[in-house]
Amino acid sequence: MKIRPALVVAALSSVASLAHAQATVEIFGLLDIGYLYTSADGNGSASSINTDGNTSSRLGFRGTEDLGGGLKASFWLESSVSPDSGVGGSTSLDNKGAGAAGINGSAGLTFGRRSTVSLAGSFGELRLGRDYVPSFNNLTASWHPFGTNGVGNAGQLFYQVNTGGTTARTNVRASNSIGYLLPANLGGFTGHFMYAMGEQASNAGVPAGAIADDGKHMGARVGYRSGALNMSIATGTTKYATGDFTQSNFAVNYQFGAAKLMYLWGKNEVGVTSTTANMVGTQYKLSTGEVRFAYTMLKADKVANDATQWAVGYVHDLSKRTALYANYSQLSNDGVGTRFTVGGGNNTTTPGGGSTGYEFGARHSF
């Protein structure tokens, strides 16, 4: 068999180019599915095959190219999926709209979890697209025992109560964003800063320009880590014609042997209303898993009602990719309130009532 020299040279050149570029592209994902039971005072009980009891299910594509000189370009596309039904998630086009005006592709495959292109180097990282707002990162499982998943999740008392015509879309992510992340070599200090556009016309509203900033978000997060101590403070505000939304929080944890001791404070302001939550909890490592516990108290001002919640859970690792989990939680509304509940849609109808939920399931990543 004859080998043409020209083909050999071309093949070697291609290999050399790929080696120099050091480009990588990967498919990744996670599926979390389980059984959920909830009961609420005055409203009976409900059972379902549920998703995201431990970690949010997702499907994604990401890649990085080494441009040389310490400069790297990358992309990240990540979609929400529900393995119990096979449907996808939704996304917000302008950080404010409802229905067809601002929510696109609900129950379809959208990359609403993250859709970014970034450039990183010794200066840090510049990131553009749809991404987590800085203040959301203090609600994840690094700072709250359950993160924002399951019957004990932080979102039940640390997310805002929408009121006065404002429905905030930026408590987790923002579209049309420009983000900057500090480099990792700053002696334990970290930082994330974001500006996101509502993309309204400059003369929008009556009178002209009245709602030009509708959907515009600005946020920042600064953290510090040294040894067993880790802390972070963040805030972000989204402008709305019906009343601005501000999410602020402070989180600190300390690794004391097998136990991570955790404290989280958060305040959400919608117009003239606010809710403030305080949580103490722990994640306790075992040889084959982790025990989780959280106790949260919420105080409300001019909206909803005060509430308390406690939750306990266990995650059992079968491998690096697969785990089993079980969670239990109780939530009580104070006074004659009915606003807060465990497990989503099964709300109490009894004034001052509460709800209970438990779940167990499996998580598998790839």
Q: Where are the domains of the chain?
A: 26-365
Question: Do the strands 229-238 and 245-256 form a parallel or antiparallel pair, or are they unpaired?
Answer: antiparallel
DSSP symbol at 81: B
Q: Dihedral angle at the C-alpha atoms of 331, 335, 340, 346, nearest 10 degrees?
A: 80
Q: Which residue in this structure is represented by tokens 């117009």?
A: 271
Q: Specify the pLDDT at position 5.
A: 46
Interatomic CA distance for residues 142 and 172, integer angstroms:
15
Terminal-to-terminal C-alpha distance of the chain? 42
176 closest CA partner among 243, 130, 232, 137: 130
Interatomic CA distance for residues 329 and 332, integer angstroms:
10
Cβ(155)–Cβ(148) under 8 Å?
yes
> 98-136 burial, b for 16+ CB within 10 Å, e for fewer?
eeeebbbeeeeebbbbbbbebebeeebbebebbbbbbbb
CATH 2.60.120.560 describes domain 26-365: no
> For residue 357, with 0-12 CB atoms within 10 Å meaning exposed, 13-18 middle and 19 or more buried, which class applies?
buried
Q: With cut-offs at 50, 70 and 90, classify the pLDDT of residue 89.
A: confident
Query: Residue 222: how many CB atoms within 10 A of its CB?
Result: 16
Give SS3 for 309: strand
The pair of three-digit structure tokens given for residue 248, joined into one six-digit string: 């602020």
DSSP symbol at 244: -
Q: Specify the pLDDT at position 251.
A: 98
The pair of three-digit structure tokens given for residue 236, joined into one six-digit string: 């972000």
Q: Is the peptide bond before 207 cis (omega within 30 degrees of 0)?
A: yes
Mean pLDDT of the chain: 92
- Mean pLDDT over 284-313 rounds to 98
Q: Specify the pLDDT at position 107.
A: 60
Give SS3 for 110: coil
Q: What are phi and psi of 139, to 5 degrees?
A: -105, 0
| Residue 334 vs residues 111, 300, 308, 337: alpha-carbon distances, Å | 39, 10, 8, 6
- Is residue 97 predicted with pLDDT exceeding 60? yes
> pTM value?
0.91
| HSE-up (13 A, CA, CB side) for residue 188 | 9
Q: With cut-offs at 50, 70 and 90, classify the pLDDT of residue 93.
A: confident
Q: Specify the pLDDT at position 209.
A: 82
